[in-house]
Amino acid sequence: MANILLKTGTLIVGDGRTLDDTAVLIKSGIVSEVGQDLKRESEMEVLDYSDRVVMPGIIDTHVHVGYDGIAADPDEVRLLTDEFLSIRGGVVVERLLNHGITTAGDAASRGNISFAVREAIEKGIVNGPRLLVCGRMISITGGRDPMSGYSEANGVDDVRRAVREEIARGIHFIKLASTGAISAMHTESMSPQFNLDELQAAAEETHKVGKMAHAHAYGDVGIRNTILSGVDVLVHGHPLNRENIDLMKEHGTMYMPTIVTYYESQLHHDDGDLPEYMVRKEKEIYPLIEEGVKNAVTAGLKMVLGSDSGMPYTPFGPSSMEEMELMVRIGGLPEMDAIVAGTLNAAKALKIESQIGTIEPGKSADLLVLAPGKNPLKDIRLLQSPESIERVILKGKTVIEH
Ligand SMILES: [Zn+2]
């Protein structure tokens, strides 16, 4: 792999800074230097983008490669084999890369689907992003629909077993179901499921091996238990009241609101394609999202990009980028901070910030070169169109060109 000298007009670092007229030196897929006076060496490829904005590849910490983001009824998955879902998973991850998402976290898929897709990417069979998987979601008995293929655990010792089992399967992070879900027919979203001591045991086992615990939670009690347990990332977290925001500040809990999946879904409530129980539960939660997210932003919580791509009306690719727009438009987050939610903060939520998340020496060269005149700091919406991204570079290699 040739060394690359990439000249940039505006470099969005990923940590909230921009650098003007800066060059990035890439050696063996790793950023080796960033600076204004980097000299061209022999046998070096020069990419002159000194009139362009260059930014880190986006990290979406929450997708489900076992779903397609189009089917309105998640129940259809019940009829499809794991083999079919794995093949389709290999197709949907290419859409992520095409839209500039260079790293994705699979936040639970049935059986071995996410592992199969990860392997196909790593072996170069599929042109996809770096995929970090959590394996199966860990839930109480009856906490999820059986078709989701969750891992069942009840009681402190059994929860420890379930976490250890996923770790042994080679996961990157742990996903817990603290409460019921919109997509699980027989649960109410806001009903607490795991007790505090079970969540504490899960977080402890996860942290023993230096990994991150993410937990799905709705409703005051389930959200409070999640924060108190030491779980690292609160997922969804609606409605988020002020007491729980204060608790999150105290405990350093990161917040992944996944706004886009509710926003897009509520536009289709009257279409008659979603199951009745989903519409009913979404109608209960959707009007409460805005206030909680606004208050979270005002309180300065660490916001994390997760789209829930794969869920109904949440297609792979544009949804990750739309989540940043909604953080700005609904949550009042400045554009730069929305980008940080999808770069450095997302890397931290997956505990991979030593390797990705910013354009800095020692990190993987995962970069987006934007088309002429395109600057997401002026208009974050332009990232939703792949034509705005001229080149997607992953590990120093151009993987997409538009
Ligand atoms: Zn999800």
pLDDT tens-digit profile of 184-223?
888 999 999 999 999 999 999 999 999 999 999 999 999 9
Centroid of ligand 1 to alpha carbon of 146 (angstroms): 15
- 366 and 394 Cβ atoms separated by less than 8 Å: yes
Centroid of ligand 1 to alpha carbon of 64 (angstroms): 6
- 70 and 261 Cβ atoms separated by less than 8 Å: no
Q: How confident is the model at residue 76 (pLDDT cuts 50, 70, 90)?
A: confident
When pLDDT is averaged across residues 78-90 and rounded to a whole number, the result is 94
CA distance 242 to 326: 21
The per-residue pLDDT for 382 is: 98
Kindly report the average pLDDT of the chain as a whole number: 96
Centroid of ligand 1 to alpha carbon of 243 (angstroms): 25
Centroid of ligand 1 to alpha carbon of 23 (angstroms): 38
Tens digits of per-residue pLDDT, 36-57?
988 888 889 999 999 999 999 9
Centroid of ligand 1 to alpha carbon of 24 (angstroms): 35
The answer to pTM > 0.85 is yes
Centroid of ligand 1 to alpha carbon of 192 (angstroms): 17
When pLDDT is averaged across residues 53-66 and rounded to a whole number, the result is 98
- 1 and 43 Cβ atoms separated by less than 8 Å: no
Centroid of ligand 1 to alpha carbon of 382 (angstroms): 25
Centroid of ligand 1 to alpha carbon of 107 (angstroms): 6
Centroid of ligand 1 to alpha carbon of 63 (angstroms): 6
Centroid of ligand 1 to alpha carbon of 216 (angstroms): 8
The per-residue pLDDT for 106 is: 98
When pLDDT is averaged across residues 348-368 and rounded to a whole number, the result is 98
| Residue in the structure block whose two tokens are 């071995």 | 112
Centroid of ligand 1 to alpha carbon of 22 (angstroms): 38
Query: CA–CA distance from 69 to each of 169, 291, 294, 319 (Å)?
Result: 26, 26, 26, 9
Q: Is the pLDDT of residue 315 over 80?
A: yes
Centroid of ligand 1 to alpha carbon of 236 (angstroms): 9
The per-residue pLDDT for 289 is: 97
CA distance 401 to 369: 10
Q: Is the peptide bond before 287 cis (omega within 30 degrees of 0)?
A: no
- Count the alpha carbons within 13 Å of 265 in the hemisphere toward its beta carbon: 31
Produce one character per residue of 347-382: b if its CB has 16 or more CB atoms within 10 Å, e if not: bbbbebbeebbbbeeebbbbbbbbbeebbbeeebeb
Q: How confident is the model at residue 325 (pLDDT cuts 50, 70, 90)?
A: very high
Q: Is the pLDDT of residue 70 over 90?
A: no
Tokens of 358: 């910013």
Centroid of ligand 1 to alpha carbon of 172 (angstroms): 16
CA angle 16-213-394, nearest 5°? 50
Tens digits of per-residue pLDDT, 138-169?
999 999 988 888 999 999 999 999 999 999 99
Centroid of ligand 1 to alpha carbon of 135 (angstroms): 12
Centroid of ligand 1 to alpha carbon of 175 (angstroms): 10
Report DSSP state, residue 305: -
Centroid of ligand 1 to alpha carbon of 383 (angstroms): 22
Q: What percent of the chain has pLDDT over 70?
A: 100
Centroid of ligand 1 to alpha carbon of 381 (angstroms): 23
Tens digits of per-residue pLDDT, 253-292?
999 999 999 999 999 999 999 999 999 999 999 999 999 9
Centroid of ligand 1 to alpha carbon of 42 (angstroms): 48
The per-residue pLDDT for 279 is: 95
β-pairing verdict for 18-27 and 30-35: antiparallel
Write down all domains in the chain, each with its CATH number in brackets: 3-56+357-401 (2.30.40.10), 58-349 (3.20.20.140)
Centroid of ligand 1 to alpha carbon of 343 (angstroms): 19
Centroid of ligand 1 to alpha carbon of 364 (angstroms): 27
Centroid of ligand 1 to alpha carbon of 306 (angstroms): 9
Tens digits of per-residue pLDDT, 87-134?
999 999 999 999 999 999 999 999 999 999 999 999 999 999 999 999
Centroid of ligand 1 to alpha carbon of 271 (angstroms): 22
